[in-house]
Chains A and B, each alone.
Chain A
């Protein structure tokens, strides 16, 4: 797998130039291609994906060739780990039965349609990637540096906690996803955390675009980019695959309809449901 060998060679090396970092593909192959085209158009020298390739959307097999085609360096998310190990559930880390009920539906669908070869592809993904950039130590992971399914929400993650995560993981910058909502923060200690959000579903903001993080050459501050794609075509594919109508509604409206119970007060208040 050339993309993984490239990832291996990257470990500890210096990575300059423009970077694109995306997360949470959730089988949204149409959004993924649109995002990668956008990143290429902006001159991204390297493109990274922070995991969770499956779930929510249709035809999970369509994501893999796109990642290969664009040479995307990918770390494993909880979904990828679960599929690779044939676990009984996605390991998303939800606590509420409503959240888990929908998570089970999408995992069952994705699990049924994942081939042995794709499971081997997922099993080979690293749990993190590290490199230096501008003399700083960057760490790319899925949930947090210490747990693949830890939710780092903007409104419930303290500065001092993030300082500790950076210190304990030996990083100056951490890039993560898992929550599906993008945010970034410069810490009092000088570090930075960027949650790159998700390209698989909109950001619960009433817009149908999806978001990823772009880093201009020489910068460490993320520019969050909204990308429009043919979301109506995706919605029809989801309907053809008999995926829950609540998922389809999210794609068409930009508002989350499921997995809402995990949201903290401020994030919940911004959505419609």
Chain B
């Protein structure tokens, strides 16, 4: 049953009353589950040394909503993912480098398939960059390091990501490059459409200026949840997807058709909705291999932008 009123309703994890979310889920469209191609790990939990103003899961030094995952916790999931024919593995947080076992976890992953780690770049020491490069060289699969940044200068970046974060992240990028890796700068889209080309080019120039000849940049849309809801706005009832939205829409373009997210609490539908109670699909990956209702405002962002958290 669709919501009766046009008034904005809290669609998001935190603050959404379970009853109304269940109602939304019943009315929401579903995409088929097409296969477990990608598994994400919330390896850093919701702990982060930064507190970015747009963080969609409000990570920070004191956020224990999801805890760090140990290598022993992750290993059974990797084995299960492998048995289910997984293709690629992603590691995020929080800040993954707060997890002291990260390198061992990445080595476990690279025995199965390609791996990507999403980091704010501020904790990448020379030793860590070197160890990552060794893991990359030792595997026939690709290891990608994605470093988040929100501006090409401290003046643009630090108001969003915190004082000093630009210089620390770029130092991390340079250490990765010096070790032989080519990180992907990952930028949340905090600008207007007409600025898109120019700003992307600025990020490419920034990397070239730091000696990276083959600059790589990925731009992600903002999700209006977590801290971003406070910074700008949240989603409203008009953002809910219906069957009409999905008619003729390529199900492969929605990552919930082929991805799942493992956190310390269990398996979630996707990397974005990990704070939504209804996103928890089970304790094992196999239990999660079924369609999930697209009942959140954030689903509209994926649908409208064709966004994928993958590389």
Contact = CB atoms under 8 A, between A and B. Distances in A.
B88 interface: yes
B182 interface: yes
Contacts of A269: 182, 214
B113 interface: yes
A265 B85 contact: no
Given A157-B113, A264-B142, A264-B144, 17 more contacts: A95-B306, A96-B218, A97-B200, A98-B200, A154-B140, A156-B114, A158-B88, A158-B141, A160-B113, A163-B85, A164-B84, A164-B85, A165-B85, A265-B181, A268-B216, A269-B182, A271-B214
A153 B87 CA distance: 11
A148 to B, nearest CB: 11
B18 interface: no
A240 B26 CA distance: 59
B87 A156 contact: yes
A261 B82 contact: no
A155 interface: yes
A160 B216 CA distance: 28
B196 interface: yes
B102 interface: no
Contact of B85 (A156, A160, A260): A160
Interface string B270-311: 000000000000000000000000000000000000101001
Contact of A155 (B141, B182, B308): B141
Nearest to B181: A265
B35 A164 contact: yes
B87 A265 contact: no
Contacts of B306: 95
A163 B213 CA distance: 36
Interface string B236-265: 000000000000000010000000000000
B142 A158 contact: no
A192 B112 CA distance: 17
B52 interface: no
B37 interface: yes
A36 to B, nearest CB: 33
Given A97-B197, A268-B216, A161 B85 contact: yes
A146 B152 CA distance: 40
Given A164-B85, A265-B182, A268-B214, A158 B200 contact: no
Contacts of A163: 85
Interface residues of B, number: 31
A171 to B, nearest CB: 15
Contacts of B68: none
Nearest to B306: A95
B113 A268 contact: no
A23 to B, nearest CB: 21
Contacts of A153: 142
Nearest 6 CB-CB pairings of A with B = A164-B85, A158-B113, A161-B87, A155-B142, A156-B114, A264-B142
19 contacts: A97-B196, A97-B197, A97-B200, A147-B252, A155-B114, A155-B140, A156-B114, A157-B87, A158-B113, A158-B141, A159-B113, A160-B85, A161-B113, A163-B85, A164-B35, A164-B84, A164-B85, A167-B85, A261-B216
Interface string A73-108: 000000000000000000000011110000000000
B241 to A, nearest CB: 21
Interface of B is mostly: loop
B131 to A, nearest CB: 16
Give the residue among B85, B182, B196 with the most A Cβ atoms within 10 A: B85
Given A97-B200, A161-B86, A264 B311 contact: yes
User: Size range of the interface on A?
Assistant: 20 to 34
Give the residue among A154, A155, A163, A273 with the most B Cβ atoms within 10 A: A155
A266 interface: yes
B169 interface: no
Contacts of B216: 261, 268
A260 B142 contact: no
A95 B114 CA distance: 19
B136 interface: yes
A39 B36 CA distance: 39
Contacts of A271: 214
Contacts of A268: 182, 214, 216
B270 to A, nearest CB: 17
Contacts of B214: 260, 268-269, 271, 273
Given A97-B197, A265-B142, A265-B143, A160 B86 contact: yes
Contacts of B140: 154-155
Give the most central of A95, A158, A165, A264: most B CB within 10 Å: A158
A7 B190 CA distance: 52
A119 B282 CA distance: 48
A97 B306 CA distance: 12
Contacts of A161: 37, 85-87, 113
Interface in A88-143: 95-98
A156 B141 contact: yes
A147 to B, nearest CB: 6
B79 to A, nearest CB: 11
A165 B36 CA distance: 12
A163 B142 CA distance: 19
A161 B37 CA distance: 7
Interface in B199-240: 200, 213-214, 216, 218
